[in-house]
Amino acid sequence: MSMKYLLFPFLLAMMLISCDKDDNKSDDTDNDNTISYYNQTLEYDNSGKLISFSYKEDNNMSDFMNVKLEYSANKVIISGNIDNEYATQEYTLNDKGLATKCIETITSGTDKGDIDIFTFEYDSNGYLISCLQDNDDLTLFEIMDGNIVGFSDVDGKETHRYKVSYGTNYNNSKINIIDALWDSYSIMAARFAGILGRTTKNLPIYAKSLVAGEHDYEMMYKFNASNVVELYTVDEKTNNIVTDTDVFRIIYNLK
């Protein structure tokens, strides 16, 4: 099953550890140790490990995910429904608890029997520097001072390249915002689980596309009393003109 690109503002919302789109929807999650936002729910055990993740795009049942996570000494198994298929992802971990390989097997659906293989590489500080899917979809990350300052994603003839600027605010929320810009949909739960490398040290404020015809994105944040992001805004820009704005409210519901 191939991964797919989604619109940046939507995926950016998914990369926040917990948020709810600011469209007057109320958070209806009452369970302890769960976080709900933008039609998504993350559930954690008492040790802080992610044990389930679900997501459904607005009124679109072809884009949804409902998976469980199981942990062992050097493996993480993520299994469940990804879109209209049932998939099992087996991640092999290194001695630092980071995934070096994932074998994804489709056990039901239109692509039953398909196997995708992902390999991951990290720098000495635990930041993801490359992700290769099936030897033809390669993403490379440029790391500087704890931040992902640039990356390129090549899938066949399609190329996405960005340079990312950061402010001085520390990333206390542990937001995987950079994932929003690359094709990380089917391995999204693993990113939330923290087995695909460290998050950026600071919060990004601008992502500039280096490919003609693609949008730039400017990010702005509001913080709560604990200096954790509680509201953020994404402006989509074309030729320095704002063409779309999304506002997201972050809701925390953890023990």
Q: What is the pLDDT at residue 26?
A: 35
64 pLDDT above the threshold of 90: no
Task: List the one residue out of 182, 201, 254 whose CA is nearest residue 15.
Answer: 182
State the first-to-last Cα distance of the chain, in angstroms, to the nearest integer. 36
Q: Which residue has the tokens 């493996």?
A: 75
pLDDT confidence of residue 37: 61
Q: Give residue 88's pLDDT band: very low, low, confident or very high (50, 70, 90).
A: very high
pTM: 0.81
Residue 113 CB partners (closer than 8 Å, separation 6+):
106
Residue 129 contacts residue 122 (beta carbons within 8 Å): yes
User: For residue 105, what pLDDT is reported?
Assistant: 94
Average pLDDT rounded to a whole number, residues 215-238: 85
Structure-block tokens of residue 140: 């490379």
Structure tokens belonging to residue 11: 């995926």
* pLDDT tens figures, 193-208: 889 998 889 998 998 9
CA distance 230 to 234: 14
User: What average pLDDT does the segment 84-106 reach?
Assistant: 94
Delimit the domains of the chain by residue range.
8-249
Contact 164, 150 (CB under 8 A): yes
What is the band of 38 on the pLDDT scale with cuts at 50, 70, 90?
low
Mean pLDDT lowest among 85-99, 102-116, 187-201, 240-254: 240-254
The per-residue pLDDT for 1 is 40
Q: Report residue 245's pLDDT band, with 50, 70 and 90 as the boundaries.
A: confident
Q: Where are the beta strands (DSSP E) in the chain?
A: 20-21, 34-37, 40-44, 50-56, 64-71, 75-82, 85-93, 99-108, 115-122, 128-133, 137-144, 147-155, 158-170, 202-209, 216-223, 229-238, 241-249
Tokens of 93: 């971990």
**CATH 2.40.160.190, domain 8-249, yes or no:** yes
Q: Degrees (nearest 5) of the Cα angle 110, 120, 148? A: 110
